[in-house]
Structure 1
């Protein structure tokens, strides 16, 4: 394992607790005013909703090795990565609620988060976060900085053309980028062996002349260690690398997903990484129960403040629907 201090480990747990607390609040608010089981047009939170419960070790482990000057792109399931990378919770919540105080002034919603403060962006289109990460990595290299880009995508996206084009170009130009594939087993609703010829997408890396590593166990410390090596390689001018992290999606692909395709639907909660890591830190004397209670209370306070801020913020004026879409004065 990486040489992590007790405080490092507590920070990893703190990040995962904050992410889960935020998403539990969004889940609550998403369904609060919806009468049918699946009604994307009603309620305080508009549109579809893709939550990342169970995938917190990926975000916490990878982003602990980054600064907000590094660029990160994510998928349509982006909250965990955005929070771990330091995104402001109020601005994030307000965008999810479609309010003027949001990151995109309420125009983008939860699948289209753009934050210049933390160099974060995401896309609702499969695999389309990878090309922008290459552009950011190219800019960093041209400027001669040590900043890097990280592109987070899902295992289903590894069969898309944008994935392969991005790996090829990153290797050709030796760009400072780390590709992170979150393998939650199901993509949208199809298991790997029904759609992918390889057992591990990490094996694809060698075809492009870059290192590839698969991390098993949904273990935040193992993720941190693998990410530390990949980030160090990119920062030192060693070029790109690929990490595939076997993780877990506790909830549905989207809110309203009946999950009839899942063979593990009844047992997934038993593999929840947060209680497991919490117990590990308690057993090794890194943290006490009362310290975890303080962490959880702090997370709840921050999250409820963000939700209250979002709910009290104004909605966009329909008369300004085209504002920010076209260049003003053009």
Structure 2
């Protein structure tokens, strides 16, 4: 039992689990950022740092039977849904022990056993997949849900309106989660988007809500309501989570920008503060409401760091991916 006063032990355990999952994503991404900058990863990485409360809040009410589709910024979603850290790191290092046997890389982490239908290097590429998964659930008369995590840049793809309309007309159990970080790659979203994103869902008669995407409990509450509605046959919903991407579009961003800047360092630092950063905010709440002691938080951090080091070692010690696999999984039947 906790020695903290007036604590609901069940709530305390649930909140600490949310905190640990967010911190695991943050520390994993920080390590991947360092490895990418050092040139140790075979390919670019798009980090989720700053958006952890959105993915964790969404996935905290899902089960393995529920599907998610992700984005090019998919590491956070993969870990939030219960994806295995060692296998993800091995994938990013291009190793045979990777979740896709080292052949997918950073933008294609997937684990169907966990309902993770995959990250996607195509902007908006997961939208139609989520609609299809929702249709499959509907046809099979299952109690699962399909969740599409996508960004504000992807929201301007035409496939979104097609998929929103289809899911509304046929009442698919799909929850559309728009993670609005205010940035569409290297462009401020407000400069290329008119109107409110939630109005696009309302136009097809779909419930829509905007929540603070850096408040994990607010995201969790909105998601729980949408999931309950979908499981009960009430059809799709759209949740817009307002958040912020602290790192660049990708870790090699400077090479793409050529000296151009689309936001200031002052703006970025403003989102690292305890009142905005999702992890610092939740830690402050845990301490203030008796959900955790500083010792608890320190133990979580140490445990997470140990997991990161173990995963890095696992990746480095694993065999490189087998290039011959390309003739089985990409060019099947086309072996020279």
Query: For residue 69 of structure 1, what is the aligned residue in structure 2?
Result: 65
Q: Is the 8 A contact 2:58 2:220 kept in 1?
A: yes
Q: Does 1:265 align with 2:268?
A: yes
CA shift, 1:266, in A, is 4.0
1:217 Cα deviation from its structure 2 partner: 5.7
Structure 2 CA distance for aligned equivalents of residues 197 and 250 of structure 1: 24
Structure 1 distance, partners of 2:86, 2:239, is 31
Moved more, 266-275 or 303-312: 266-275
Where has structure 1 moved over 3 Å in runs of 4 or more? 317-321, 326-330
1:141 correspondence with 2:138: yes
Q: After TM superposition, list the pairs within 5 Å mapping 1:166-315 onto structure 2.
A: 166-198=163-195, 200-216=196-212, 218-258=214-254, 260-263=261-264, 264-270=267-273, 271-315=276-320
Q: Displacement of 1:234 after TM fit? A: 0.8
CA–CA distance in structure 1, aligned partners of residues 282 and 189 of structure 2? 27
Structure 2 residue aligned with 1:91 = 87
Q: Secondary structure at the match of 1:137?
A: helix
TM-aligned CA deviation for residue 5 of structure 1? 2.0
Q: Is the 8 A contact 2:164 2:204 kept in 1?
A: yes
Q: Tell me the equivalent position of 2:15.
A: 9
Residues 116-140 of structure 1 show CA distances to partners (whole Å, capped at 9, x for unaligned) of: 2112112111111011111111111
Give the match for residue 38 of structure 1.
none
Q: Distance in 2 between matches of 1:287 and 1:266?
A: 27
Q: Write the distance in 1 (CA, Å) between the matches of 2:144 and 2:324.
A: 41
Taking only aligned residues, the RMSD between alpha carbons, in angstroms, comes to 1.8
Cα-to-partner distance string for 1:223-265 (whole Å, 9 max, x where unaligned): 1111111111111110000001001111111002247211423
TM-score after normalising by structure 1: 0.91
Could you tell me how far apart the structure 2 residues matched to 1:243 and 1:93 are? 30
SS in 1 for 2:203: helix
Task: Determine which of 99, 111, 115 is the counterpart of 1:115.
Answer: 111
Following TM superposition, by how much is the alpha carbon of 1:302 offset from its aligned partner in structure 2, in angstroms?
1.5
Give the gaps of 5 or more residues in structure 1. 35-42
Partner of 1:39: none
Q: Deviations over 1:145-186 (max 9, x none)?
A: 110110000011111011111111111110001000011111
Q: Is the 8 A contact 1:149 1:176 kept in 2?
A: yes
C-alpha contact (below 8 Å) 1:250/1:272 kept by paired residues: no
Structure 2: state its 5+ residue gaps: 1-7, 255-259
d(CA) in 2 for partners of 1:179, 1:217: 14
The CA deviation at 1:144 is 1.5
Alpha-carbon shift at residue 58 of structure 1 (Å): 0.5
What secondary structure does 1:223 align onto? helix
The question of whether the paired residues in 1 share the 8 Å contact of 2:198 and 2:209 is answered with yes
Question: 1:40 maps to what in 2?
Answer: none
